[in-house]
């Protein structure tokens, strides 16, 4: 259309004859114009097509690379999962049996040795250490093999431990959570919380004389609160700090950025551990 | 008269030291111990045990199949699983196969004897994770064979309550809680046989 308009205007206009000599006939001008337009148009279209082809090539390359990376990540994850499962199986088949064998042999030795002697104490210490190693290996394996950063999973694990532990005594144990939905704990928080509450549960039995223990979990602004409540009468003359094995608990809290609160009530004591959901680590 | 016990465990140290612990008691004696189920089954009639302590992972026939064979030939015989980890899938499958409970291999001497006492007197231990699997197993069938009280006990365990807490909440004794657990184990075995038959029937494996 534009070219026809130019042609029409050119043929109608009063161009000086000097220009007509230089430019020639309007049809000739139109043809030249058309050729130039076609040439550049075609060139531009070619460039665009070329760019589009390169872009598609690049996209295909990127997609292939992403797929490769996806596959590699999937393969690695599978390898890690298999490795975790193997570690758990190995523990069950090898380490667990070996530790059980040590405990059983030491127990046999204990039966053969007179109580109160120095050797008897050493054998008792071997049994204690073997059982401790067995217990901490189980905690570590659980941490490795489960979604241990999920607060709900950790709460269930500690509840199961509390149930098993207090079943050995005449202590009523129950648990309750006011949390809805899963919350992600900071890395390595779970293992430390396991050690903290195992120690606390143990100390309640040793020192509080409680009949009932309740383990609770609740969510408050940007923090999860785990609490162990007992109805025991801790001896007033005793240092509560020592009862809870608080040196260890305090150290773990400080290292992991947890906040520890002990509430003494008329009907027992409550140990609260607050875990901020965003934590800065020290050490 | 002492109760007769046999042990099936491939780890020699564990097998022999378990035997020492049991032979040291007034109430029990180990009449034989074996490294494989096959040997134990071969001598089952002559050993005539009241209780069998059974490992799960064994060379040849595993402890789950071994439990089924023993219960088939000697229904009154109690099978207690000895295990490293007490709440695994394999332990649950052993319970479905007819085992009356389990003992953790690393237990104290007192705990081992207490668990055997409990198995004879009714009420083997049940952990939270096992209770959850048991609940799921009974949920598979339409008409649950459990009584209301047994359901309440099972629910309490699955929620993480200790036996004392369940007894307190239900106004019953700890011993009654244990006897309910024993009944749940028995019904679990029957229930799984029924479930297995139903599945087999629906797949036209049996007529």
Question: Tens digit of pLDDT for each residue in A249-267?
Answer: 888 888 888 888 888 887 8
Number of neighbours of residue A274 by Cβ within 10 angstroms: 17
**How close, in Å, is residue B72 to chain A by CA atoms?**
28
pLDDT of amino acid B169: 93
Strands A223-230 and B51-55, how do they pair? unpaired
Looking at CA atoms only, how far is residue B70 from chain A in angstroms? Answer: 24
**How many residues can be counted in chain B?**
207
* CB contact at 8 A, A132 and B106: no
CB B105 within 8 A of CB B146: no
Express each pLDDT in A206-228 by its tens digit: 888 889 999 999 988 888 999 99
Closest to B14 in 3D by CA, of A31, A246, A98, A259? A98
Q: Higher pLDDT residue, B166 or A185?
A: B166
Strands (E), chain B: 3-8, 28-34, 51-55, 78-83, 101-104
Residue A279 pLDDT exceeds 50 = no
Give φ, ψ of A240 to 5 degrees: -60, -30
Could you read off the pLDDT of A23-61 as tens digits, one per residue? Answer: 567 677 778 878 888 899 999 999 999 999 999 999 999
The overall average pLDDT reported for chain B is 84
Q: What average pLDDT does this structure show over B70-98? A: 86
Residue A38 contacts residue A31 (beta carbons within 8 Å): no
Left (φ > 0), alpha (ψ -120 to 50) or beta: where does B34 sit?
beta
Does A282 have pLDDT greater than 60? no
Is B165's CB within 8 Å of A212's CB?
Answer: yes
Tell me the chain A residues in contact with residue B114 when contact means C-beta distances shorter than 8 Å: none
> Angle at the Cα of A156 (from A136 to A165), degrees rounded to 5?
55
Task: Identify the pLDDT of residue B194.
Answer: 63
Report strand pairing: A268-276 vs A223-230: antiparallel
What are B's interface residues with A at a Cβ cutoff of 8 A?
11, 13-14, 17-18, 20-21, 24, 57, 84-88, 105-106, 108-109, 111, 125, 127-129, 157, 159-165, 167-168, 174
Residue B143, pLDDT score: 73
% chain B with pLDDT above 90: 34
Helix, strand, or coil (residue B34): strand
Q: Between the CA of residue A41 and those of A3, A38, A64, A265, what are the distances in Å?
A: 14, 5, 34, 88
For residue B31, the model assigns a pLDDT of: 95
Q: Indicate if ipTM > 0.85.
A: no
Which of B18, B20, B84 is closest, CB to CB, to A96?
A: B84
Q: How many CB atoms lie within 10 A of CB A70?
A: 10
A74-83 contacts at long range (C-beta below 8 A, 24 or more positions apart): none
Chain A residue numbers with beta carbons less than 8 Å from the beta carbon of B81 are none
Enter the pTM of the model. Answer: 0.74
More confident residue, A174 or B201: A174
* DSSP collapsed to 3 states, chain A: CHHHHHHHHHHHCCCCHHHHHHHCCHHHHHHHHHHHHHHHHHHHHHHHHHHHHHHHHHHHHHHHHHHHHHHHHHHHHHHHHHHHHHHHHHHHHHHHHHHHHHHHHHHHHHHHCCCCCHHHHHHHHHHHHHHHHHHHHHHHHHHHHCCCCEHHHHHHHHHHHHHHHHCCCCCEEEEEECCCCCCECCCCHHHHHHHHHHHHHHHHHHHHCCCEEEEEEEEECCEEEEEEEECCCCCCCCCHHHHCCHHHHHHHHHHHCCEEEEEEECCEEEEEEEEECCCCCCC
**Residues of chain A neighbouring B163 (CB-CB closer than 8 A):** 167
Interval A126-184: pLDDT, tens: 998 998 888 888 888 888 777 778 888 899 999 999 998 998 888 999 999 887 777 88
- The whole-number pLDDT of residue B205 equals 40
Residue A283 pLDDT: 37
Is it the case that residue B6 has pLDDT exceeding 90?
Answer: yes
Contact in structure between B35 and B9 (CB atoms under 8 Å): yes
Residue B204 has pLDDT above 50, yes or no: no
Identity of the residue in A104, A159, A175 whose CB atom sits nearest the CB atom of B13: A104
- Give the pLDDT score at A168: 85
Q: What pLDDT does B39 receive?
A: 94
Q: Any idea which residue has 């004897």 for tokens?
A: B113
B67, burial (CB in 10 Å: exposed 0-12, middle 13-18, buried 19+): buried
CA of A128 vs chain B CAs: smallest distance (Å): 10
A51-106 pLDDT, tens digit each = 999 999 999 999 999 999 999 998 988 888 788 777 777 776 778 888 888 988 89
With 0-12 CB in 10 A as exposed, 13-18 as middle and 19+ as buried, what is A99? Answer: buried
């Amino acid at each position: 259309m534009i070219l026809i308009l130019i042609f029409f205007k050119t043929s109608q206009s009063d161009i000086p004859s000097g220009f007509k000599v230089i430019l020639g006939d309007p049809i000739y001008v139109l043809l030249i114009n058309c050729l130039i337009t076609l040439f550049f148009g075609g060139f531009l279209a070619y460039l665009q097509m070329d760019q589009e082809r390169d872009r598609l090539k690049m996209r295909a390359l990127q997609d292939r690379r992403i797929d490769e990376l996806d596959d590699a990540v999937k393969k690695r994850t599978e390898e890690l999962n298999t490795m975790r499962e193997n570690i758990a199986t190995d523990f069950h088949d090898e380490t667990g049996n070996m530790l059980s064998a040590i405990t059983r042999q030491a127990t046999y030795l204990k039966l053969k040795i007179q109580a109160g002697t120095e050797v008897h104490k050493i054998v008792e210490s071997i049994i204690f250490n073997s059982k401790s190693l067995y217990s901490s290996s189980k905690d570590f394996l659980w941490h490795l093999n489960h979604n241990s950063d999920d607060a709900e999973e950790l709460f269930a694990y500690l509840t199961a431990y509390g149930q098993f532990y207090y079943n050995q005594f005449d202590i009523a144990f129950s648990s309750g959570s006011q949390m809805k939905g899963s919350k992600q704990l900071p890395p390595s928080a779970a293992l430390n919380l396991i050690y903290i509450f195992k120690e606390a549960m143990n100390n309640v039995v040793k020192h509080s004389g409680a009949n009932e223990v309740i383990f609770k979990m609740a969510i408050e602004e940007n923090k999860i609160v785990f609490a162990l409540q007992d109805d025991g009468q801790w001896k007033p003359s005793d240092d509560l700090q020592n009862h809870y094995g608080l040196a260890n608990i305090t150290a773990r809290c400080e290292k992991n950025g947890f906040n520890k609160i002990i509430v003494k009530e008329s009907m027992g004591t409550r140990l609260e551990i607050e875990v901020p959901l965003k934590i800065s680590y020290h050490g | 008269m002492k109760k007769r016990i046999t042990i099936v465990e491939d780890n020699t140290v564990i097998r022999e030291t378990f035997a020492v612990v049991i032979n040291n008691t007034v109430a029990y004696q180990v009449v034989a111990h074996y490294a494989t189920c096959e040997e134990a089954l071969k001598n089952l009639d002559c050993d005539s045990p009241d209780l069998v302590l059974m490992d799960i992972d064994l060379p040849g026939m595993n402890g789950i199949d071994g439990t089924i064979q023993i219960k088939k030939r000697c229904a009154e015989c109690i099978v207690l699983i000895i295990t490293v980890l007490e709440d695994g899938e394999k332990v649950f499958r052993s319970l479905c196969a007819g085992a009356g409970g389990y003992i953790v291999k690393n237990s104290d001497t007192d705990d081992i004897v207490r668990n055997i006492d409990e198995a004879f007197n009714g009420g083997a231990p049940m952990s939270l994770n096992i209770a959850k699997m048991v609940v799921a197993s009974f949920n598979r069938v339409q008409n649950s064979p459990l009584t209301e009280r047994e359901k309440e006990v099972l629910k309490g365990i699955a929620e993480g309550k200790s036996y004392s807490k369940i007894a307190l909440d239900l106004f019953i004794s700890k011993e009654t809680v244990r006897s309910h657990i024993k009944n749940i184990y028995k019904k679990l075995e029957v229930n799984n046989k029924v479930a297995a038959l139903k599945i087999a029937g629906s797949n036209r494996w049996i007529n």
